[in-house]
């Protein structure tokens, strides 16, 4: 069977695209408006891996979906019927029940732009990943409906099946992180999106990868050197491989030093407080978090437990403490916990703050917001299974 083609919208740093590419799918193009996230995607997937057959008419540059539709509608129309899979979830901050959930958040409206692109391209499969709040009704306006229900209405009007939506625990698909997300699948009328969900469910496994099995070869105690990309900072070196997961992440040769493995500069008192939290030896997370609250005003600070998958990563790096060293995690450790292989390099600022947080996507955010590549690969294989069965 010829490889399936895909388009990735709201692509971020390219986690979804990477998994599809590793499953043998062929990228056509990706849409991402943030310059830092787009540079990471294009550097790794277009330049290094040749994962996209990027069209000559589309600039290889950061671009909002609105600008794509406004400036390239004619060229997109000529691609109708040539896109097998369209992936990408609208930015999730406006849907998240953990954040300031607002029905009028401008980011919530981006799924409508997504639907405009669906109507133009007519993809054989539509796959979205989003936070659970995407399926939770807003209390006011819209008749109390959720955005999943609104999306279902627009899909039906565009000639698509009722979307099959399932909550998926990504740790059951091989990600060393207890990350639960809503996976939504639809096909043109006559298809069966449930086949994709059934195939994803069959690919889930019993065993889970713990935090230590994911990142123990990245301990600061293995040694440090001056950071190659941040003057005045220290970066870590590799230790020996200690698990099958680490071997898989390091299978394809990457930089001699772990990319983006820059350690934060903690003050002496902060380090002492973090050490006292780690010295509590209390498990699981609930007890560790209680100890952390006693040492910090930050109530969300959560130490990792070495034998368990990490909790859901956030874009705030000081939400998590390393399981054995008194420090926050590095970007590379974040990437490991999101299943990005070590050859995949992250570009741009490490962090940002203030009002820029709403507009910039630095490295920590690029990783935390991504669809884990291991998950997207499993989704791709499920889609291929359904495609062979005549679902598309």
Taking the domains of the chain in order of start, what are their residue ranges?
5-207+372-388, 211-348
Cβ density class 148-173: b for 16+ within 10 Å, e for less:
bebbbebbeebebbebbbeebebbbb
Give phi and psi for 120, each to the nearest 5. -75, -50
- Structure tokens, 226: 């001056």
- With tokens 């990943």, the residue in question is 129
Q: Give the model's pLDDT for residue 289.
A: 52
| Both tokens assigned to 357 | 């947080």
**pLDDT range class, residue 392, cuts 50, 70, 90:** very low
CA distance 164 to 151: 12
Pick 139 or 148 by higher pLDDT.
148
Q: Are 228 and 322 in contact (CB under 8 A)?
A: no
Query: What's the count of helices (H) and strands (E) in the chain, helices before strands?
Result: 14, 12
Q: Is 168 helix (H, G, I), strand (E, B) or coil?
A: strand
pLDDT tens for 211-258 read 999 999 999 999 999 999 999 999 999 999 999 999 999 999 989 999
Say what the pLDDT of residue 82 is. 96
- Residue 272 token pair: 């002492």
Assign 278 a pLDDT band (cuts: 50, 70, 90).
confident
Sign of CA dihedral 289, 294, 300, 302: negative
- What mean pLDDT do residues 179-201 have? 96
Indicate if 92 belongs to the active site.
yes
The H or E element spanning position 87 is: strand 85-87
Catalytic residue among 4, 92, 118, 215: 92
Q: Is the pLDDT of residue 29 over 90?
A: yes
User: Among 57, 27, 22, which residue's Cα sits nearest to residue 42?
Assistant: 27
Q: Is the pTM of this model over 0.85?
A: yes
Q: Which residue has the tokens 């909550």?
A: 167
Q: What is the homologous superfamily of the domain 5-207+372-388 according to CATH?
A: Vaccinia Virus protein VP39 (3.40.50.150)
pLDDT (0 to 100) of residue 388 = 80
Fold match between domain 5-207+372-388 and domain 211-348: no
Q: What CATH number does domain 211-348 carry, 2.40.50, 3.90.120, 1.10.3470, 3.40.50?
A: 3.90.120
The DSSP code for 93 is: T
Cis ω on the peptide bond leading into residue 284 (within 30° of 0)?
Answer: yes
Q: Provide mean pLDDT across the span 134-153.
A: 78
């Amino acid at each position: 069977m010829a490889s399936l083609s895909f388009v990735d919208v709201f692509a971020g740093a390219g986690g979804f695209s990477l998994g599809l590419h590793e499953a043998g799918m062929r990228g056509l193009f990706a849409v991402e408006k943030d310059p830092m996230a787009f540079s990471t995607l294009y550097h790794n997937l277009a330049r290094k891996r040749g994962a996209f057959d990027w069209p000559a008419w589309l600039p290889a540059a950061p671009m909002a979906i609105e600008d794509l539709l406004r400036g390239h509608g004619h060229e997109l129309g000529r691609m109708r019927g040539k896109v097998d899979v369209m992936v990408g979830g609208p930015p999730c901050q406006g849907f998240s029940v953990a954040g300031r959930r607002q029905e009028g958040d401008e980011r919530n409206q981006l799924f409508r732009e997504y639907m405009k692109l669906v109507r133009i391209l007519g993809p054989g499969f539509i796959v979205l990943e989003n936070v659970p709040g995407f399926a939770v009704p807003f209390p006011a306006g819209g008749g109390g409906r959720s955005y999943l229900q609104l999306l279902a209405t627009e899909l039906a009007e565009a000639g698509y099946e009722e979307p099959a939506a399932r909550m998926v625990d990504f740790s059951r698909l091989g990600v060393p992180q207890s990350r639960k997300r809503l996976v939504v699948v639809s096909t043109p009328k006559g298809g069966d999106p449930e086949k994709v969900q059934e195939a994803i469910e069959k690919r889930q496994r019993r065993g889970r990868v713990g935090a230590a099995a994911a990142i123990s070869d990245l301990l600061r105690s293995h040694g440090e050197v001056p950071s190659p990309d941040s003057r005045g900072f220290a970066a870590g070196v590799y230790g020996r491989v200690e698990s099958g997961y680490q071997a898989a992440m390091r299978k394809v040769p990457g930089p001699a030093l772990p990319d983006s493995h820059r350690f934060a500069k903690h003050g002496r008192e902060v380090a002492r407080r973090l050490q006292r939290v780690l010295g509590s030896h209390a498990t699981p997370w609930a007890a560790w978090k209680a100890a952390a609250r006693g040492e910090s005003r930050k109530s969300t600070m959560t130490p990792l437990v070495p034998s368990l998958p990490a909790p859901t990563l956030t874009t705030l790096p000081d939400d998590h403490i390393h399981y054995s060293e008194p420090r926050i995690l590095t970007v590379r450790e974040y990437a490991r916990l999101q299943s990005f292989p070590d050859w995949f390099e992250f570009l741009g600022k490490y962090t940002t703050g203030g009002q820029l947080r709403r507009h910039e996507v630095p490295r920590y955010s690029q990783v935390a917001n991504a669809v884990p590549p291991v998950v997207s690969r499993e989704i791709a294989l499920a889609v291929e299974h359904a495609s062979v069965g005549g679902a598309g």
